[in-house]
Copies of this chain bind each other. A is one copy, B any other.
Amino acid sequence: MKKHQITIKDIAQKLNISPSTVSRALKDHPDINFRTKEAVKEIAKKYNYVPNRIAQGLLLDKSNIIGVIIPEIVHHFFSSVISGIENVAHENGFNVMLCQSQESYEIEVKNVDTLLSSHIDGMLISVTKETTDYRHLQNIQEMGIPMAFFDRIIEEVETDRIIVDDFGGGYNATKHLIDQGCKKIAHFHGPLHLLIGHNRYNGFIRAMNENNIPLHNDFIVFCDQYEKAQAEAKKLLESKNPPDAFFCVNDATAIGVLKTVKKMGFNIPGEVAVAGFTNSYISLISDPEVTTVDQKGYELGQEAAKLIIKRILNSEDLPEKPITKILDTELLIRESSLRKK
C-alpha cells in the first residue's frame, strides 16, 4: 500500500463537512442527501481513495463484533456487566471483544485504537476515573460507529447512556437503616467528583433530611477501601458518641467496618447495623451477610448490548437522538442490618 493516501478526514476538509458525514456518504447511509454523496464519491474517485482497514471492514460487511472497554475486570460488578453483554450479544449473533483500561486514560486511548482496528460494529465504554479528554471517544462517533456509555459516563459526549440509579440506591439503604431504628448513621463515601459517589452521597443526605435525622460532620468520611474502613470505623466507634449504623459506598468498605465492629465486641445489628452497595459476591460470603444495594450489573449489561445492537442495525425502535436509560437498584436486606422485631 502507498503512504499518503487521501483519508476520510481529507475529503471532509475539502468539502467542509464532518468526517462522519463522509464516512456515511461512502456507505450510502440514508441520512445523507444525494448531492453530498455524489460530491464525496467524486472526490474519493479523483484522489483514488482507498478505504483503510477499518473503513474497509465497515464497507465490506459487518464484523459482528461489539467492542467493550471497562476500567477493571477484577470488580464483580463489571464481570457481571460483561456476562450480561455477552449473553445478549451471542443470542443476536454478535461476539464480544473486551479491553481493560486499568483505570488509565492512556491505555483507554490505546484500547479504542485496538478495537477500531478490529473493525468492530459498535462500542460500549465505561470510562476511567481519569478520562477528561474526549477526542478518542469523539473519533469513534466521527467514524460513524455506534457507541454507548455504561455505568460511568462523560457528560460532554452526547451518546446513548445506560446507568444505574445510584441516588435511589443510596436513599433506600439509608431509609432502611432509619426504619430499623438507627439514629446516628455514618456514611463512608467514595470520591465526590465522580457521579457515582456523588449520587450515592446525595441519596444518603436526602433520606436523612426527609426523616429529620441530624447529620454529624464527623460521621461523613471519605473512605472506600477495606483496610481504611477498619481504621476509620475504629476511630468513630471509640469516640464518646459512636454511630449506631454505617452506610458504605461499596461492599468491601462495609466488610472492613464489620470486621472492626465484631472485633470491638458490638452486637450486630442490635448495637451497630451496616449496609454496603454493589451486591458483590463478598457481601454474601461475609459473616454476617451484608445488607447491600444490588446494582444489577447483569441487567445493565443486557440493556447496553440490546441498545448498541439496535443502533448497529439502525433499528427504528429508537429515536435518532441519544437516549439515557436509568436502571433501578434493589435493596437486599440481610443479617448485618435486619433487627428482629
Q: Residues of B contacting A107 with CB < 8 Å? A: 86, 90
Q: Residues of B contacting A73 with CB < 8 Å? A: 73, 79, 82, 98
Q: How many copies does the complex hold?
A: 2
Q: Residues of B contacting A24 with CB < 8 Å? A: none
Stretch at the interface among A128-136, A141-149, A281-289: A281-289
A252 with B90: in contact, given A74-B79, A97-B114 (CB under 8 Å)?
no
Chain A 72-101 per-residue mask, 1 if CB under 8 angstroms from chain B, else 0: 111010011011001000100001111110
Chain A 217-233 per-residue mask, 1 if CB under 8 angstroms from chain B, else 0: 00000000010000000
Distance A73 CA – B110 CA, assembled complex (angstroms):
21
Q: Residues of B contacting A79 with CB < 8 Å? A: 72-74, 79
A299 to chain B, nearest CB (A): 16
For residue A117, CB closer than 8 A to chain B, the reply is yes
| Secondary structure class of chain A's binding surface, majority of residues | helix
B255 touches A65 (CB 8 A): no
Residues of chain A from 38 to 94 with CB closer than 8 A to chain B in the complex: 53, 57, 60, 63, 65, 72-74, 76, 79-80, 82-83, 86, 90
Distance A39 CA – B303 CA, assembled complex (angstroms):
53
Q: Residues of B contacting A286 with CB < 8 Å? A: 285, 287
Q: Residues of B contacting A80 with CB < 8 Å? A: 74
For residue A159, CB closer than 8 A to chain B, the reply is no
With a 10 A CB-CB cut-off, give which of A57, A76, A100, A262 has the most chain B CB atoms: A100
A97 touches B100 (CB 8 A): no
The number of chain A residues touching the other chain, given as a range, is 35 or more
A289 to chain B, nearest CB (A): 10
**In-complex Cβ contact of A86 among B102, B117, B287 (8 A):** B102
A304 to chain B, nearest CB (A): 16
A111 touches B95 (CB 8 A): yes
For residue A20, CB closer than 8 A to chain B, the reply is no
**In-complex Cβ contact of A282 among B97, B98, B114, B281 (8 A):** B281
Distance A254 CA – B111 CA, assembled complex (angstroms):
37
For residue A313, CB closer than 8 A to chain B, the reply is no
Can you list 14 contacts pairing A with B, beta carbon distance less than 8 Å? A53-B57, A65-B118, A72-B79, A73-B82, A86-B100, A86-B102, A86-B107, A90-B110, A96-B99, A97-B97, A97-B99, A97-B115, A117-B118, A258-B287
New contact pairs (14) apart from A82-B100, A83-B102, CB-CB < 8 Å: A53-B57, A63-B117, A72-B79, A86-B100, A86-B102, A95-B111, A96-B99, A98-B99, A98-B100, A118-B118, A281-B282, A285-B285, A285-B286, A286-B287
- Chain A residues within CB distance 8 Å of chain B: 1, 53, 57, 60, 63, 65, 72-74, 76, 79-80, 82-83, 86, 90, 95-100, 102, 107, 110-111, 113-115, 117-118, 226, 252, 255, 258-259, 262, 281-282, 285-287
